[in-house]
Amino acid sequence: MRLQSILRALFAAWLFFSFAVTAGANERLAQGFTALPAGAKVVVMPMDVELFSMSAGGVLEPQAEWTIQALDNLKAAIRNRSTQNGAAFNDFMGEPDLTIDEFNRLHGAVGAAINIHHLGPFKLPTKEGRLEWTLGPEVSLIKQKTGADYALFTFIRDSYASNERKAAIVVAALFGVGLTAGVQVGYASLVDLNTGDVVWFNRLIRGYGDLREPGNAKESLDALLQSFPG
């Protein structure tokens, strides 16, 4: 377990420094947005979470049971979270339909683009460092469904070395070869449901954490929402 944690940490550090150039607090906020208005309603969208095991050869294999456990742990953690200015987190009620699934997939793509082109090294000159990304005005459908002012989107992928992978890591280490043991990657975005604009964004890239355990899942969520503007 210790070896796995060390290797995950090293790989995550490589990822982080590969994509991190500057990431000050202001870079995580859209221009003109500083904090949630008092009393604002925030709907927590169905979380886009998937956990994987990593085979001896490094192939990621989806683990449905782990994913269900992680979702339960993350939902419990966010229900117990309160904002500083009275804004309320409300679960998205009902079963997600195709429209909601499409918004989640869109957020995964936009989050990846923000990670690379806003917080990462491949910045877009036309944006001049501004957090200027949007999911489009169509997200007003979420406002109509929920009555919320903002939506919190969450995307997390996490992977863990299988026993075979751990054995491969040990053997490879004997020959001076480093193999990865999984990494935890996540994005979170606060979206204005009147405009579709992303007004706050944060990411998580690291080699430790275990969403399968309630306490560790809460710690991961706290880290992802560390700079949440409310």
| DSSP state string for 31-81 | TT--SPPTT-EEEEPPPEEEEEEE-TTS-EEE-HHHHHHHHHHHHHHHHT-
pLDDT score of 52: 94
Percent of the chain with pLDDT over 70: 87
Q: What is the mean pLDDT of the chain?
A: 85
Q: What is the rounded average pLDDT of the residues 193-198?
A: 97
DSSP classification of residue 168: H
> Quick check: 87 and 36 in contact, CB under 8 A?
yes
Cα–Cα distances (Å) from 60 to 54, 57, 63, 68, 132, in that order, read 5, 9, 9, 17, 33
Residue among 165, 200, 164, 206 nearest 185 (CA):
206
Question: Comparing 2-11, 102-111, 159-168, 178-187, which segment has the lowest mean pLDDT?
Answer: 2-11
| Residues 6 or more apart in contact with residue 180 via CB below 8 angstroms | 7, 8, 11, 54, 58
Q: Where residue 23 falls among pLDDT bands split at 50, 70, 90? A: low
Q: Where residue 177 falls among pLDDT bands split at 50, 70, 90? A: confident
* Assessment of whether the complete model's pTM goes beyond 0.85: no
